[in-house]
Amino acid sequence: MRRGVGITGINQQLLQKAKFSEKGSELAHDHLEKLSKQFEIFRDNLEKFAEKHKNEIKKDVAFRRQFQDMCATVGVDPLASSKGFWSQVLGVGDFYYELAVQIVEVCVATTQQNGGIISLDELLLRVRKARGKSKTAQDVSQDDILRAIKKLRSLGDGFSTIEPTTANGRILIQSVPGELSMDHTTIISSLQTKANFTSEQLKEQLKWNDDRIKSALDFMIKEGLLWVDTNGKQTEYWFPGLFTAQRVQAGESV
């Protein structure tokens, strides 16, 4: 019969485990220290790169997006503050804060027309017009608009994005406080290819009952998100946020 492990054997096992644990902690600490040094080196190189290419970052929208993506891979947010290195060298903090103000101005000015929901296409066009065509004005892209809107979200409710549900759909920007229900966003998302519809078309597309459709439409009409046209044989509903977007896409003045 095998004898059990004695007190001495147990103590040796515990001591061995303690040594393994201590060595493991030591290796983890060394590894973390090396990673930290590598990160600092990369950050220094990133700052040198930014300083060397600051003019391209400011003026070239594609280059600016690639730079932003490169920063994101190492957890560096050049927009986190309007002060410090990134603002002094690149002016990116000031650029995006100024852009955010212009976005707010456009959204406020168009709320009466679209009920507080505007397509990203139209918002970009209007912001570009507001910035003017002077040599000192930096061009902006859809990516710049979306990054500025993310900063606006930190101020509280009022700005959010509605993602398209189809490949050719448009991103929409909601600029008024208040949460839209799933029914409201489903209706908006279903209208990505056309701006007007009837309740019958909506019923056929979404397979909802009359009460559910009426409740959703009544709320959206009350909030100014839909226009109602009763001149035809059937009552038509127009979504101004997409109606003006189609005009923008066609090159018409807005």
Give the model confidence (pLDDT) of 117-168 as tens digits.
888 988 999 998 888 765 456 788 899 899 888 877 766 556 888 887 666 6
pLDDT score at 46: 73
Are residues 111 and 171 part of one domain?
yes
Least confident of 10-24, 33-47, 214-228: 10-24
Has residue 241 got a pLDDT over 70? yes
Confidence tier at 48 by pLDDT (50, 70, 90):
confident
Contacts of 215 (CB under 8 A, 6+ apart): 183
Rounded Cα distance between 196 and 226, Å, is 9
Are residues 164 and 131 part of one domain?
yes
> What is the reported pTM?
0.61
pLDDT score at 44: 74
Domain CATH number, residue 125: 1.10.10.10
Q: What's the average model confidence in pLDDT over 167-186?
A: 78
Are residues 235 and 109 part of one domain?
yes
Are residues 138 and 193 part of one domain?
yes
Identify the residue whose tokens are 């095998």.
Answer: 2
Are residues 225 and 106 part of one domain?
yes
Give the Cβ contact number of residue 17 at 10 Å: 10
Residue 14 lies in a domain: no
Rounded to 5 degrees, what are φ and ψ at 227?
-105, 150
Least confident of 39-43, 54-58, 64-68, 97-101: 39-43
* More reliable by pLDDT, 78 or 204: 204
Least confident of 80-94, 162-176, 183-197, 229-243: 80-94
Which whole-number Å values give the CA distances from 18 to 22, 31, 32, 95, 170, in the listed order?
A: 6, 20, 21, 55, 59
Residue 40 lies in a domain: yes
Q: Which domain holds residue 151?
A: 94-249
62, 89, 116: which is the final residue of a domain? 89
Are residues 173 and 106 part of one domain?
yes
Residue 25 lies in a domain: no
Confidence tier at 71 by pLDDT (50, 70, 90):
confident
Paired sense of beta strands 117-119 and 172-174, if any: antiparallel
* Domains identified in the chain, total number: 2
Rounded Cα distance between 247 and 242, Å, is 9
